[in-house]
Amino acid sequence: MAVTLTALDVMRDAPVIPVIVLNDVAHAVPLAEALVAGGIRMLEVTLRTPQALACIEAIARQVPQAVAGAGTVRSAADAAAAARAGARFAVSPGYTRAVGQACRDAGLPLLPGVATGSEIMQAQEDGFTELKFFPAMQAGGPAMLKAWSGPFGDVRFCPTGGISTANAAEFLALPNVACVGGSWLTPADALARGDWAQVTALARQACELQRRPG
């Protein structure tokens, strides 16, 4: 029986949640194994391709050390389909009450996307205090998160969007950031070549990033 996760569990497992776009189901299992070998278990497979749900299902069935999650969840139907495929958490680019309720109904911890104070307040009103800040760089970057630390001191964020090895440490140094999301752990050229050793090396480097405790 799978252990019940919370959104904070997902965020605290490693400094980085990989944002994964898969176009080939055959890549799903070796990619997940490569990330796990590098210390990354929480895997956000985005629902941006027709193969995404099949990829989540393959990871959930064949890589028990990984925790497959669904990203780009935009509707109640997305949440239900992700849960049926074996996803154990969900990430959305924005927030609606319908998506929030659907994830609760499906037993999926949700990291709702927010970019404004009003969106944070709406998500908090519905009981969500672990949020995805998206698109992080375009929406204000570390300066915005610092400004939010006053009025929203009880919220923990996963900034995603424009995060790279060049700026991840700056985000992770903030007290209200629990982790970051990034696509650099799974570069398209490495997937095309089947270079799983590169993916493992990038995951290991990501795990060495320092976070503030808390």
Active-site residues: which are they? 44, 132
Burial of 187 from C-beta contacts in 10 A (0-12 / 13-18 / 19+): middle
Of 140, 89, 88, nearest in space to 119 by CA? 140
* Contacts with 110 (C-beta within 8 Å, 6 or more apart), sequence order: 7, 73, 79, 89, 90, 91, 92, 99, 100, 103, 104, 128
d(CA 11, CA 33): 20
d(CA 42, CA 9): 10
Strand (E) or helix (H) holding 17: strand 16-20
